[in-house]
Amino acid sequence: MLNNLKSITFSLFIFTSSVFSYNDAAENWQLGFQDPATPIMEGIINLHHDLMYFICVIFIFVSWMLIRTLWHFESTQNNIPSSLTHGTLIEIIWTVTPACILLIIAIPSFSLLYAMDEIISPAITIKTLGHQWYWSYEYSDYLSEEGESIMYDSYMIPEEDLNLGQLRLLEVDNRMVVPTNTHIRVIVSAADVLHSWAIPSLGIKCDAVPGRLNQTSIFIKREGVYYGQCSEICGINHGFMPIVIEAVKLSNYISWISNKLNE
């Protein structure tokens, strides 16, 4: 009886873990998207699915037309070639139909594009600076008693120092901590060469250009740890400057800020 109870409990644990777990880091042989954690990423995935519908319908229709044409108009079945050179109706159809499809696609794509550039009254501003080959973060909204803001560097943890369960080439020693359900503005720049601050599950990819300040916004809907990497070839160690964002409750974020200010 006890063994049966243990097996049932273990099965329920596996079931709930598979239902409520999220994919917020890259996996081997992954084909799809990571699970979205922001409204922008949800919009990107929905737009992708909408476009795939049109692509599949067009692919099936064009393939059917090609096969039908090759089958029915093969030379042995048509000894006398057709003298038809123009078909006004069919030409109007194959011009107007793609134009209408493009208009249908343009409406949600432009809406998403403008939503990605919109900055909605940010409650927090964080500056991220790309270096060869690590990231540094600055929380300029908070000042210590000495008048200094929170600043720290984020380096990749070497493979030999990883703990059990940590991800190779993705873990860092200092994560970027942010609160959930909060509008956050991120100012991105670089100190030396071109970098790119990208987190797939948040739908963010912002170029870090020396001498230029780019900005993007984040609104994370759930707690979690989100992994990204520099997406611009920035030198020999380009593949060794990961990005890790930890989204926590507002109360935990306030405690983290307090500890950082007292360090």
Residues 126-182: pLDDT tens digits?
999 999 999 999 999 898 888 888 999 999 999 998 988 889 999 999 999 999 999
Whether 182 maps to a domain, the answer reads: yes
Domain count, the chain: 2
Cα dist. 179→57, 75, 118, 218, 225 in Å?
42, 69, 19, 10, 12
Per-chain mean pLDDT for the chain: 87
CATH of the domain at 54: 1.10.287.90
- 190 shares a domain with 154: yes
Q: Which residues contact 230 (CB under 8 A, 6 or more apart)?
A: 130, 133, 195, 196, 197, 198, 238, 241, 242, 243
Stated pTM of the model: 0.81
- 54 shares a domain with 160: no
Q: Letter for the amino acid at 226? A: Y
List 230's β-bridge partners, or say none.
197
Q: What is the dihedral of CA 189, 134, 121, 41, to 10 degrees?
A: 110
- 150 shares a domain with 42: no
Q: How many residues does the chain have?
A: 263
Average pLDDT over residues 239-255: 94
- 210 shares a domain with 167: yes
- 249 shares a domain with 129: yes
Half-sphere exposure of 190 (CA within 13 A, CB side): 18
- 144 shares a domain with 210: yes
- 103 shares a domain with 165: no
CB 175 within 8 A of CB 154: yes
Whether 14 maps to a domain, the answer reads: no
Cα dist. 145→140, 236, 253 in Å?
14, 40, 19
Lookup: tokens for 38: 């922001």
Range(s) of the domain holding residue 257: 124-262
- 165 shares a domain with 151: yes
Whether 184 maps to a domain, the answer reads: yes
- Using the 3D structure, point to which of 87, 118, 149 is the last residue of a domain: 118
- 128 shares a domain with 43: no
Q: For residue range 172-212, what is the model confidence (pLDDT) as tens digits?
A: 999 999 999 999 999 999 999 999 999 999 999 999 999 99
Whether 229 maps to a domain, the answer reads: yes
